[in-house]
Structure 1
Amino acid sequence: MPDLLIELFSEEIPARMQARAADDLKKKVTDGLVEAGLTYAGAAAFSTPRRLTLTLDGLLAESPTVREERKGPKVGAPDKAIEGFLRGAGVTRDQLEERETPKGAVYFATIEKPGRPAAEIIAEVLDTTIRNFPWSKSMRWGAGSLRWVRPLHSIICLLSSDEGAEVVPFEIEGINASNTTFGHRFMAPAKVTVSGFDDYAAQLKRAFVVLDPQERADAIWQDATNQAFASGLDVVEDKGLLAEVAGLVEWPVVLMGEIAEDFLGLPAEVLQTSMKEHQKFFSVRNSKTGRIERFITVANRETADNGATILAGNQKVLSARLADAKFFWENDLRVAKSETGMTAWTEKLSNVTFHNKLGTQAARIDRIAALSREIASVVGADADLAEQAAKVAKADLSSEMVYEFPELQGLMGRYYAEAACLPQEVANACEQHYSPLGPSDVVPTEAVSVAVALADKIDTLTGFWAIDEKPTGSKDPFALRRAALGVIRLVLENDDHVALKEIFAKGYEGADVEDLMSFFHDRLKVFLRDQGVRHDVIDACIEMDGNDDLTLLVKRARALQEFLGTDDGVNLVQGFKRANNILTQAEEKDGVEYSYGADRKFATDDAEKALFDALEGDGGAISTAIETEDFAAAMGGLAALRQPIDTFFEAVQVNADNEIVRRNRLNLLSDIRKACGQVADLSQIEG
């Protein structure tokens, strides 16, 4: 079985596109080959800035012969129908076979598709792949019509086996497939002839090209951390930057440079962001002080002076960039320390539109401040501090630093609030009120930060609900699902009891509170399902009063799920459903509601009396446990009811001949429903 090597060699492919492009090449080629009948043992794809590579091993030398039987028209059918069938099947009339079927004699045709050589199929699949490659952006060049991310220069398409290697005859837009490629653009630009994948990878490495992007990333990280460690420093980890830099070089050469003393006083985050965004540099930190003191850059070549010239150029450009950052920082500090302080920035936000239907950022800040004050008492925060924090939390949006680096919003607010000598709780809230930004983001725990973070997200949600801009399907342009998840995590992870409906009503005027609460319940279901809580358990708890207190709701759901994992839980639900079904049918038949309480004096059976005792004792215990939010004890009370309910149904006929006894027993079933219903709506439980 031969092996296949494909390389598409071009001008530099943007780093952000390389991994996806390698995966797309692998999928499109392998899908096309398998569809044509060519299977293979294994496949792997690679990328560098100038090439996409695919290797397949254990490929069939040719596709198998396929025989297909096709049913045609009835014998005696009109000639036109028969001729149409013949054309479609690609057979002649004398090749048809008559067979008897339950519906009479019918023509059948046996169609044989002979196998085809692998090279022929590969050429067709590769042509289709290249012409229809799903680049997010592509270009045409020269006089041709082919579109590619950057000009395509050469193609390797090589089948190799123990007998040798052969180039697959293939041509597209004047580019003929061959067995040659090129090494590093500067260090080994000569043509390289290869005989298979192993030879290809080895020759590229000798030509200063590391084919595997993960190998390049590992080499960069190892060399960078070693150089930093030798100086008593460590590299700030950034997996996204590492992947990007690995996509910028074919032969990574790691160099560590120094940051001028003038800039070491800048906040570490400012240095890190500026170097990453503008220069693709890694930050090197002094672990004792937390200061960013050096940088790591990755060159794409070795030089005679060991990178000295490259470092000098990089340091010159970096100094210019950091000079801008220092200018922004010093200007912003002057504003923050002035008499007007951060309010000068907040006033500017009256000219910044948040949304054309929801007003300016300044108006939004006023709403968040008022809402923060309302929420403060609920989460244990000082109302004055919460309001003060909300009024300055977004002030840094007007600062020069955040204008240059929007990703630093919030963080710079903390620095400026500290410079303005505002309370530390206020400064921390400036940074933390955006959090959590996603499922893995840290949740604020300081009460003032929690209050402002909740107010910020709830104002957003109630505002967009009021103007009917809700998420639809997969579309959520204003990240409202993320905002709802943020509220859920803030409440749950801080164990706060927040009556959300009441808070929603104090948010943006005109929001449909019930509809918004339903949206929250849907997000909560997703959140809890990811943690293994059953959907029917969540539904059973959502049906209870106080379902806008998410902390209470989740405690109830977790306890109920644990209870349902026991024999007592399973059997009690069955007993409850039996009682509920009998009671519902009786109420429909009799046209009355049996909910007035059973009377013990009409009990005639020991099992009936025992159930009275259990409902009086354990039913009351359930109620007490619910009031104190001791759901484990409440489930224990339910467990104690399991045996008396089981025994009752085994020993007692509910629909007795005596009408008084019957009505009393139906009221007793109502007491069962009430007792169980204190915990959750068990009718929602499946099974």
Structure 2
Amino acid sequence: MSSHNTADLLVEIGTEELPPAALAKLSTAFCDGLLKGLDDARLAHGSGQAFASPRRLAVILSQVALAQPDEQVARRGPALKAAFNAEGAPTKAALGFAQSCGVAVDSLEQEETEKGAWLCYRQQVIGKPAAALLPELIDAALAALPIPKRMRWGNSHVEFVRPVHWVCVLLGDSVIPGQVLGIEIDRLTRGHRFHHPDAVRLSSAADYLSALRGAYVEADLAARRSAILEQVASLAAEAGGAAMIDESVLDEVTALCEWPVALLGRFDPGFLEVPSEVLIETMQANQKYFPVVDRSGSLLPFFITVSNIQSRDPDQVRAGNERVIRPRFADAKFFWEQDLKTPLGERVGALQGIVFQHKLGTLLEKTERVAELSAWIAEVIGGDSSQTRHAARLAKADLVTLMVGEFGSLQGVMGRYYAERSGEAPIVAAAIEQHYWPKHAGDHLPETDLARAVAIADRADTLVGIFAIGLRPTGVKDPYGLRRAAIGVLRILIETPLALDLRVLFERAAAGFPASLNAAGCVDEVLGYCVERLKRYYADAGDDRSADADVIASVLALDLSEPVDIDRRIQAVQHFRGRPEASALAAANKRTRNILRKVSADEIGRQVEQALLQDVAEQSLAMAVDTLSDKVTGLLDQHDYNAALAELSSLRQALDDFFDQVMVMADEPEIRANRLALLKRIETLFHGVADISLLQG
């Protein structure tokens, strides 16, 4: 779309095959960078649309101004009193300013302001044409792309993520003159590498998508993704099933194709004897195939591959993919059959040959620590300690199998299969897989207390051990996954829920390490690290558990260490802040805190003496506190923090009257101490839930 003053802008950078994992991010960043460049250059524009394929990054920006607007530039010079001497002759300051502006002193104007009078130079600056500005703007946008490592090619000193072969820039139907990344700008683009290797001449920016589609290139990433989904779903239905769509695989396949053509392949049904997770992992991770399952979710002997070519003989392409998958499945079947020859329990000793961390010993030593710790956790949460200890001893045994050696992501999953085949109890077999849960944000949690105990113990042992040897995570570096481990422990304890104190847990874990390591010395640090992760936990939580930062701070200020209790308090305070009394009570608590901080413990009375209560307001407050105290304490003992805060909310008026009418810091020491004791008693009651003085208005 164009007018006399605007035109659509097309920018396309043609490259060697771009990294598929980064394609969408680079495409979006390129569009955003160009829009920002136009804004900084004062070139008006409409919306932008990003396009990308393996061999191109492109952007179409609508209604781009053909030139900058004209602009009046004003420069202020010296003050008039410094610009001219007593005789009215210009001083060196005035002469120098005029010279810097390229005019005579007589051409300068005077500007009157509230602060005085000044020499001033005004100039009408004609806006530059967009065509003159665009090459530099495009280069700047490309230079700002999030590319961790750039490369050079040929004899050029230009650097980019991949070698660049062409640059097409059209403003309306006009080619922008100049160079980008050292390549002369043209109106030529390229079609599909095989179907249409010749150059494609574009008459205008508006022709871009249709011209490329005619050359077997779908440049719209979203449209290409939708086309793949549609083709894959159709072929899966033909095979009598549905395709398993892994979003990361779909994104990668979309980024690898310019003209996607899906094909249905078949494999020997005999391979279905191997656990489906192995076959699925092979298809998705290694081959970027889409597996096909029946209505019950069971794997069918089909797969769908997406080719970047519309072959004249699709059967040949299909047969080629079937030939590739066959030896991979054959290897998996061999691993499966060989692994089954040794019961899982007999593999535990082999963990002695795998180093967990050279200062922390082998995986066998870790396994023994985790077994004892998980048994103790089981006792605390009411589980079967003997069975839990047994499951923990088997939990890592699949790491020495052939299958997990080839498919590391299936650790735990294969342990479950091998445990079942070894005759282990179903709950033990399930725990072997589930002790790795949750693997990532939003992942499901272990389903039994046995699995939860092993999962917590495994993570606690890692946290304490790694901190003990001084390898706390710094910045983005977290090679032992301690952030994930901490969040995992918190999620299990809070969302199950389980009443387990982190300090006690970490002290128990530390006791499992050799005394020479002094693991006990890092318990406070590990505890602080996990409590700090709570902030991230609530930031990522859904609406049913999210909490404001000041609410979290009000609870964490009490130095608590039982996550499920912390969560109950946070949820109660989050609900409390919606009450009409909350703001006034928070302010009163803040005032109470500030007063008590300024006095020593010796200045506060040990208890509130009724005989020393002089004013009506303090008598009323003390009576209200007496009335509430036992009831609130009972509610706190039951961890009913919502009800406790509801009761404490009734103190609002009495507290307001107290602070309005009573001088806390009375001259008489005994009266002052008694009033401080009353405030201390109120603070203690509120601190049974949280320090609500930290709540913001």
Per the TM alignment, residue 520 of structure 1 is displaced from its structure 2 partner at its CA by 2.0
Give 2:572's aligned residue. Answer: 559
Which of 462, 477, 486 is the aligned partner of 2:479?
477
CA separation in 1, counterparts of 2:330 and 2:580? 70
State the AA in 2 paired with 1:534: D
Amino acid at match of 1:566: R
CA RMSD of aligned residues (A): 3.1
- CA apart distance, 1:620: 0.6
The one of 51, 58, 61 equivalent to 2:63 is 58
1:291 equivalent in alignment to 2:316: no
Q: 1:664 to 1:233 in 2, by over 3 A?
A: same
How many pairs are equivalent? 672
Contact 2:416–2:429 (Cα < 8 Å) also in 1: yes
**CA 399–85 in structure 1, closer or farther in 2 if over 3 Å, else same:** farther
Residue pair 1:286, 1:293 contacting (<8 A) in 2 also: no
**5 Å matches for 1:206-285?**
206-285=214-293
1:572 paired to 2:585: yes
Q: Which amino acid aligns with 1:490?
A: I
* Alignment check: 8 A CA contact 1:40 1:59 kept: yes
Counterpart in 1 of 2:3? none
Which amino acid in the other structure matches residue 35 of structure 2?
Answer: T
Please report how far the alpha carbon of residue 497 of structure 1 lies from its aligned counterpart in structure 2 after TM superposition: 0.8
Q: CA offset at residue 606 of structure 1?
A: 6.0
Alignment of 1:193-204 (within 5 A): 193-204=201-212
Show the counterpart of 1:527.
537
Cα contact 1:569–1:639 (8 A) shared by 2: yes
Are positions 1:325 and 2:332 aligned together? yes
Quick one: structure 1 residues 597 and 242, their matched pair in 2 at CA, closer, same or farther if it must change by over 3 Å? Answer: same
Query: In 2, distance between residues paired with 1:240 and 1:422?
Result: 35
After TM superposition, give the deviation of residue 355 of structure 1 in Å. 2.1
State the 1:579 CA deviation. 4.8
Aligned to 1:18: 23
* Matching residue of 2:681: 671
Structure 1 unpaired stretches of 5+? none
Deviation at 1:281, TM superposition (A): 0.5
- After TM superposition, list the pairs within 5 Å mapping 1:632-651 onto structure 2: 632-648=642-658
What is the letter of the counterpart of residue 97 of structure 1?
A: L
Q: Secondary structure at the match of 1:247?
A: helix
In structure 1, distance between residues paired with 2:153 and 2:119: 54
**Cα distance, 1:333–1:72 mapped onto 2, change above 3 Å:** farther
Q: 1:190 aligns with which of 198, 201, 207?
A: 198
Q: Is the 8 A contact 1:575 1:645 kept in 2?
A: yes
Match of residue 555 from structure 2: 541
Q: Matches of residues 488-499 of structure 1 in structure 2 within 5 Å?
A: 488-499=490-501
Residue 401 of structure 1 aligns to a residue whose secondary structure is: helix
* Equivalent pair of 1:95/1:109 in contact (CA under 8 Å): no
Contact 1:498 1:550 (8 Å CA) reproduced: yes
Q: Which amino acid aligns with 1:261?
A: P
Counting aligned pairs with the same residue, the percent is: 36
Q: How far is 1:185 from its partner? A: 2.3
Q: In structure 2, what is the Cα distance between the partners aligned to 1:134 and 1:543? A: 39
Could you say which residue in structure 1 is the equivalent of 2:631? 621
SS at match of 2:50: strand
Is 1:123 matched with 2:135? yes
Aligned 8 A contact 2:335 2:402 in 1: yes
| Other-structure match for 1:396 | 398
**Matches of 1:421 and 1:185 in 2, distance apart?**
56
Instruction: Give me the whole-angstrom Cα distance separating, in 1, the residues matched to 2:117 and 2:398.
Output: 85
* Partners of 2:151 and 2:316 in 1: CA distance: 34
Residue 316 of structure 2: aligned partner? 309
Name the aligned partner's letter for residue 312 of structure 2.
A
Check the 8 A contact 1:144/1:173 in 2, yes or no. no
Structure 1, 390-399 or 467-476: larger mean CA deviation: 467-476
Answer yes or no: is the 8 Å Cα contact 1:271–1:292 preserved in 2.
no
Distance in structure 1 (CA, Å) of the matches to 2:249 and 2:593: 60
- 2:322 alignment partner AA: Q
Say whether the 8 Å CA contact 2:356–2:362 is kept in structure 1. Answer: yes
Residues of 2 paired with 1:123 and 1:402: CA distance?
A: 52
| 1:408-440 CA-partner distances (Å, limit 9, x unpaired) | 111111111111111222211211112212221
Aligned mate of 1:143, from 142, 145, 155: 155
What is the rounded CA distance, in whole Å, between the counterparts of 1:661 and 1:145 in structure 2?
83
Residue of structure 1 in register with 2:12 after alignment: 7
CA–CA distance in structure 1, aligned partners of residues 609 and 142 of structure 2: 83
Judge which range, 571-580 or 209-218, deviates more: 571-580
What secondary structure, in the 3-state scheme, does the structure 2 residue paired with 1:256 have? strand
Three-state SS of the structure 2 residue aligned to 1:185 is: coil
- SS of residue matched to 1:444: coil
CA contact (8 A) 1:131 1:146 kept: no
Classify 1:611/1:25 alpha carbon distance in 2 versus 1 (closer, same or farther; 3 Å).
closer
Contact 2:171–2:205 under 8 Å retained in 1: no
> 1:462·1:511 contact (CA, 8 Å) conserved in 2?
no
Deviation at residue 145 of structure 1 after TM alignment: 3.2
Greater Cα shift, 126-135 or 390-399 = 126-135
Q: For residue 102 of structure 2, what is the aligned residue in structure 1?
A: 91
1:681 aligns with 2:691: yes
Note closer, same or farther for the CA distance 1:110–1:321 as it changes in structure 2 (3 Å cut). same
Counterpart secondary structure, 1:58? strand
Give the C-alpha shift of residue 581 in structure 1: 5.0
Look up the equivalent residue of 1:91 and give its one-letter code.
Answer: G
**DSSP 3-state at the match of 2:392:** helix
Cα separation, partners in 2 of 1:271 and 1:96, compared to 1, 3 Å: farther
Distance 1:461 1:82, change over 3 A: farther
SS where residue 184 of structure 1 aligns? coil
Q: Distance in 1 between matches of 2:612 and 2:211?
A: 96
Q: 1:416 matched to which residue of 2?
A: 418
CA distance in 1 between counterparts of 2:658 and 2:28 reads 64
How much has 1:478 moved relative to structure 2? 2.8
Could you tell me how far 1:172 is from its partner in structure 2?
Answer: 5.6
- Which amino acid is the alignment partner of residue 13 of structure 2? L
TM-score normalized by the length of structure 1: 0.89
After superposition, give the CA deviation of every residue in 1:348-390 in whole Å (9 maximum; x if it has no partner). 3323222233222222222211211221112332111221111
Structure 2 CA distance for aligned equivalents of residues 544 and 127 of structure 1: 54
* The one of 60, 69, 73 aligned to 2:74: 69
- Give 3-state SS (helix, strand or coil) of 1:59's partner: strand
Q: Which consecutive unaligned segments of at least 5 residues does structure 2 have?
A: 1-5, 511-518
**Mapping of residues 380-529 of structure 1, within 5 Å:** 380-508=382-510, 509-529=519-539
Match of 2:165 among 153, 162, 175: 153
Q: Which residue of structure 1 lines up, in the alignment, with residue 605 of structure 2? A: 595
Matches within 5 A, 1:157-168: 157-160=169-172, 165-168=173-176
Answering whether residue 308 of structure 2 is matched by residue 300 of structure 1, we say yes
Contact 2:158 2:182 in 1 (8 A): no
* Partners of 1:263 and 1:322 within 8 A in 2: yes
Shift of 1:310: 0.7
Separation in 2, partners of 1:30, 1:238:
33
Partner amino acid, structure 2, of 1:681:
D
Residue among 19, 33, 52 paired with 1:28: 33
Q: Residue type of the partner of 1:537?
A: V
In the TM superposition, residue 143 of structure 1 has moved relative to its aligned partner by: 3.4
Change (3 A) 1:230 1:95: farther
User: Per-residue deviation at 1:227?
Assistant: 2.0
Would the aligned equivalents of 1:96 and 1:107 in 2 still touch at CA under 8 Å? no
Deviation readout 1:141-199 (Å, 9 max, x if unpaired): 33333334444322211121xxxx22122246874322222322222333322222332
